Amino acid sequence: MATASRLGSRIDAGLLVGCVVLSLIVIALPADNREPIATALRRSVVAPLVGLQQGAERWRTAWVSSERRQLVVDSLSLRAVRAQALQLENDQLRKVIGLGSRLDWGFVPAEALHSTAPSEDVVTTLTLTAGSTAGIAQYSPVVAAEGLVGTIYKADPTMSIALLYTHPDFRASAMSGDGSAFGIVYPHPARATGADAYMLELRGVTTRVILKPGTLIFTSGLGGTFPRGISVGTVVEQIKTNEVWTRTYLLRPAVTPSRVTSVLVLTAQRVTQGTGNIWGAVVNGDSASRRIAAAGDSLARRAALLEAQARQATLDSVRKATIDSVRRSLGAPPMPVSAADSAAARRGQTPGAQPAPVVRDTGAQARRPSTAPGGAATVKRDSARPRRDSIRPDSTKKTPHS
């Protein structure tokens, strides 16, 4: 075993020495004779080593190009994410600017800074980049283009803390769009994930009022904190509770706090004077709808009456024309047009229509003389006056001959 190892070592040493001698000989040869020998060695003995070198170079080039390509892809992805975020922010800014143009006065714009604490699953507070120096005070309403966001909890000179509707201490008086239902808005305690994590409850609605899914809910203005007409959310379904005289409804809020980047804070004067119909609150819309329906019904009845009168006039005209044509075909003169029909035609009534009966004094008619066909005046007896020959003497009264 040791002899075989010594033999292998000697062979390796001999090959090394031979290679070194050949290398020196090749280096000592002129350039014209050196190139053919080198080419022959690269094609025969050194060919595997040359292949390995070329493969290593190709792998290195591919790795470098792949790394560059990955850097380009990452840069493009980051730019796309930033562009999407900028687009969302621009959309919100446009909406806030539109809301500010509709409000026209009585608000303070501010940027919303979100907390980066990983323990907060649901956003309950926001830091605003405006404070008491700009006119923000405690309990000032915070709104967005979609609707209600929350209220100011603390106002510093340059910063303020907004308490969102997701906070457990949040309360707001609300009503339905038509003003038929009133209640108090609470944060929904059963937390979920995604968009369902931000849900609200409308409590204290009277039992006689039933709200359908999709009904819009707005602030009612009661309590003095929020003005009337700010959009709160829409009704999802009724929640079963132990309350007997009231109902509770689950609301989907109009605003998602995690997506809010810019808000408007309403001033105290604007809260006092209200916001009007900016968020589309239809107050007393049910009564307005009833008035519109009643006006439509009256117009429909009038149109139907006019149509019936026109149809009757057409039928009377056709009937009269048919009778006249039949009389002409038989050689009889046409029907004369009476003075009443002419007067009715002038008044716009249907010719041949029966006039309203006139109540006459029968006693005056009986006393008025009438002309007989022969021309002699005849006097009608008054049937109410008793005749002399019909009066019988009283049996109790004695006559002179008795």
Summarised one tens digit per residue, pLDDT across range 224-238 is 889 999 999 999 999
Burial grade of 268 (CB within 10 A; 0-12, 13-18, 19 or more): middle
Residue 389 to residues 36, 384, 386, 392: CA-CA distances in angstroms? 178, 15, 9, 8
Closest CA to 352 of 337, 341, 339: 341
How far is 225 from 326, CA to CA, in rounded Å?
85
Calculate what percentage of the chain has a pLDDT beyond 70: 73
CA distance 15 to 22: 10
Verify that 175 and 233 share a domain, yes or no: yes
Would residue 26 count as lying in a domain?
no
Do 78 and 131 lie in a common domain? Answer: no
Q: What burial class does residue 96 get, using C-beta atoms within 10 Å of its C-beta: 0-12 exposed, 13-18 middle, 19+ buried?
A: buried
> Which of 287, 319, 334 is the last residue in one of the domains?
287
Please state the rounded mean pLDDT for residues 133-144.
Answer: 92
Residue carrying structure tokens 């029966």: 354
Residues 60 and 130 placed together within one structural domain of the fold = no
In a domain, 85, yes or no: yes
pLDDT at position 231, please?
Answer: 93
Dihedral over Cα of 167, 172, 176, 177: its sign = negative
Q: Per the domain annotation, does 265 fall within a domain?
A: yes
Report the candidate in 334, 322, 221, 323 with the shortest Cα–Cα distance to residue 270. 221
Give the structural domain span for 187.
105-287
Q: What is the pTM of this model?
A: 0.53
Domain containing 141 — which CATH number?
A: 2.40.10.350
Q: Where is the domain boundary, 271, 287, 303? A: 287
Domain boundary among 287, 303, 334: 287
Look at 295 and 66; give whichever has higher pLDDT. Answer: 66
Is the dihedral angle over the CA atoms 188, 192, 193, 194 positive or is it negative?
negative
Q: What digits encode the pLDDT tens for the residues 154-208? A: 999 999 999 999 998 999 999 998 888 999 999 988 766 655 778 999 999 999 9
Same domain, 226 and 272: yes
User: Are residue 184 and residue 269 in the same domain, yes or no?
Assistant: yes
Same domain for 127 and 66, yes or no, is no
Q: Is residue 18 part of a domain?
A: no
Residue 59 above 50 pLDDT?
Answer: yes
What pLDDT score was predicted for residue 382?
A: 47
Angle, in degrees to the nearest 10, between helices 31-43 and 2-28: 140
Q: Is the pLDDT score of 302 beyond 90?
A: no
384 in a structural domain: no
> Are 242 and 202 contacting, i.e. CB atoms less than 8 angstroms apart?
no
Residue 297 is assigned to a structural domain of this protein: no
193 & 217 share domain: yes
Banded model confidence at residue 338, pLDDT cuts 50, 70, 90: low
pLDDT at residue 336, as a whole number = 59
Is a pLDDT exceeding 70 seen at residue 358?
no
Q: How many domains does the chain have?
A: 2
My answer on whether 81 and 113 are in the same domain is no
143 shares its domain with 273: yes
